[in-house]
């Protein structure tokens, strides 16, 4: 729901279209990666950083926090595939 809220709040139709097209795949990977180690806690901390940046009106930090979250999520996903 967090990701859907961010997409909806962005008001970006193209982003919504892309997100809607990949949500099933993302959900599959989330279900396998977030149950490993401290992945859920890390992801929640990343979400908190994103929310804090948005709420403080800092688009540069929000953008960087989102990039960092995506990259971190990708690393967790690839680590799962390597197992």
pTM: 0.82
54 Cβ contact partners less than 8 Å away, ≥ 6 residues apart: 62
Q: What is the pLDDT along the chain (83 residues), one digit of tens a residue?
A: 899 999 999 999 999 999 999 998 888 888 888 888 899 999 999 999 999 999 999 999 999 999 999 999 989 888 877 65
16 Cβ contact partners less than 8 Å away, ≥ 6 residues apart: 7, 8, 10
In the block, residue with structure tokens 């859907």: 4
């Amino acid at each position: 729901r967090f990701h859907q809220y961010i997409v909806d709040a962005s008001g970006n139709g193209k982003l919504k279209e892309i997100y809607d097209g990949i949500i099933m795949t993302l959900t599959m990977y989330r279900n396998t990666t977030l149950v490993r180690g401290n992945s859920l806690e890390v992801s929640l901390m990343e979400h908190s950083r994103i929310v804090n940046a948005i709420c403080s009106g800092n688009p540069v930090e929000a953008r960087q926090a989102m990039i960092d979250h995506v990259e971190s999520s990708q690393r967790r996903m690839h680590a799962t595939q390597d197992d």
